[in-house]
Amino acid sequence: MSDDPRDGIERATRAQLMSRLRVGILAAASGGLLLLCLPNMLRDWELYEPAWAQVVAYLMLAGVLGVEAVLVVRGRLWPAAWRWPAVGVVVLASVVSYTALPYGHAASAGDWIFGQATWVGLVVLLSRPLPVPLAFLGLHWSIALGNMLLSTDVDRTMVLRFATGSVGVIGYPLCMAVTAAAFRGIARAAAAAKWETEQVAVAEAAAVESHRRRQQRFTDLDLTALPLLEGLARGRLDPADPRVRHDCAIEAARMRRLFAEVDHVPNQLLHELRHCADVADRKGVLVELDARGQWPDLPLPVRRDLTEAPLTVLATAESWARVTVVGSPDLVCVNVLADCGPVELPRPAAPGVRLDAFHTEERLWVEVRWQATASPR
C-alpha cells in the first residue's frame, strides 16, 4: 500500500463522492431482489429443476448485498481481500441458477437472475476501473447466452427476447459503471486540489510561526543587546572596561545561539553549544566539547536554560574551558569547567531544569541538568 498521503486523500474523497451512488445502487439491487425476483421465482417455482438451486442462488446474492449494506453504513469500500471472493459468489450464483433453469427460458420471467446478478456484481465492483465491471457484465451475459444456445429449440422469438432483455440488463448497470468511473476522475482532481490547499495552509502556518519566532528573537535582543549597543554608541560605556567586554561576549554568544536556533540539524542542543563555544574560541579561549549518549529533541525553553549558564561561563573564561554533554532519553546534563572567577549565573525557568555551581580560586564548575517529569497517571 502506498504511503503517499495524497492517495489517502483521494480514497477518502472518492468514498465521499460515491457514497450516495452506492446507496442508490444498493437500493435498486435490494428492491429488485425483493420486489421483482422473489415474486417471479415463486410464480415459476414448478419450472425449476431442482427448485432448491434457485433458493441457494437467491441467498448468495442476498448475502453479498447484506455485506454491502454493512460497508455502506460504516462508510467503507470493499476490502481487496473480500472483493474477488464476492464476485466469485455472484458468478457461482448465476451458474447455479442457470443449471436449474430449463433450456429455452433464458431472459424470460422465470430467469430472474439474468437482470439481478449484474446489479449485485456492480455493487462489489463499483470502485474498480471501468474495464473490470465491463468484464464481469460480459461474463454474466455469456453465461446466460450459453444457456440459451444449448437449447435445442432456439427460435427467432427467443433470440429477440434475449436481445431486448440484454439492452436493459447490460445497459443500465453499464451507465452506473461509467458514472462511477467519472466520479473517480472527479475524486482524483478534487484530491489534488485539496492536497494543494492543505500544502498552502501548512506553508502559511509555518510562515506565521516563523514570523512569531523571529519577533520573539528580536524582542530577546532588545532586552539585552540593544541597551549595550546604545551605551557603546553614545559613549556611556567604555569598550576597554572588563565588565563591558564581558557583557559584550555574553551578548555575542546569545546572538550566535539565537541564530543557531533556526537551523535544521539532527542535534539542536549540541549545535547551539558549538556556536556558543565559537565566540569563546574567537577571543583565544581553548574550548573542548564532548558529548556522550543520546537524548530526545528538547523544547526551545529547555535548550535555552541548558545553554544560558554555559555560554555565560564560556564568555567569562580566560584561557580554557571544557564542556561535556551527557544524555539519555529522560536526562540531559551540560557540564562546564573553566578558568574564570565568580560570575552571576541566570537561574533556569523551564520545568525540570536545575542549576548547580561550584567555585574555587581559579576554576568554576557549572552543571545544568534537565530531568524529564513523570507523566501523571
The answer on pLDDT for 152 being more than 70 is: no
Distance CA 6, CA 54 (A): 45
pLDDT tens profile 58-111:
999 999 999 999 998 888 888 888 999 999 999 999 999 888 887 667 667 778
> Phi, psi at residue 302, to the nearest 5°?
-70, -45
Q: Both 174 and 292 in a single domain?
A: no
Which residues span the domain enclosing 69? Answer: 5-198
Q: Both 33 and 109 in a single domain?
A: yes
Confidence (pLDDT) at 217: 67
Compute the half-sphere exposure of residue 373: CA atoms within 13 Å on the CB side of its CA.
Answer: 9
Confidence (pLDDT) at 90: 94
Q: Both 155 and 252 in a single domain?
A: no
Confidence (pLDDT) at 354: 92
Q: What mean pLDDT is predicted for residues 244-249?
A: 78
Q: Both 194 and 343 in a single domain?
A: no
Q: Is residue 187 part of a domain?
A: yes
What residue type is assigned to position 338 of the chain? A
- Expressed in angstroms, the distance from the first to the final Cα of the chain is 37
Q: Both 254 and 133 in a single domain?
A: no
Q: Both 264 and 342 in a single domain?
A: yes
Smallest Cα–Cα separation from 341: which of 364, 366, 308, 310? 364
What residue type is assigned to position 255 of the chain? M
Compute the half-sphere exposure of residue 169: CA atoms within 13 Å on the CB side of its CA.
Answer: 26
| Mean of all residue pLDDT scores within the chain | 83
- Is pLDDT larger for residue 158 or for residue 178? 178
- Is pLDDT larger for residue 72 or for residue 235? 72
User: Is residue 324 very low, low, confident or very high in pLDDT (cuts 50, 70, 90)?
Assistant: very high
User: Is residue 199 very low, low, confident or very high in pLDDT (cuts 50, 70, 90)?
Assistant: confident
Cell, residue 40: 417471479
Q: Both 29 and 150 in a single domain?
A: yes
Q: Which of 141, 171, 198 is the last residue of a domain?
A: 198
Q: Is residue 168 part of a domain?
A: yes
The answer on pLDDT for 377 being more than 80 is: no
Q: Is residue 221 part of a domain?
A: no
Compute the half-sphere exposure of residue 135: CA atoms within 13 Å on the CB side of its CA.
Answer: 8
Q: Which of 173, 198, 223 is the last residue of a domain?
A: 198
CATH classification at residue 281? 3.30.565.10
Q: Is residue 350 part of a domain?
A: yes
Q: How many domains does the chain have?
A: 2
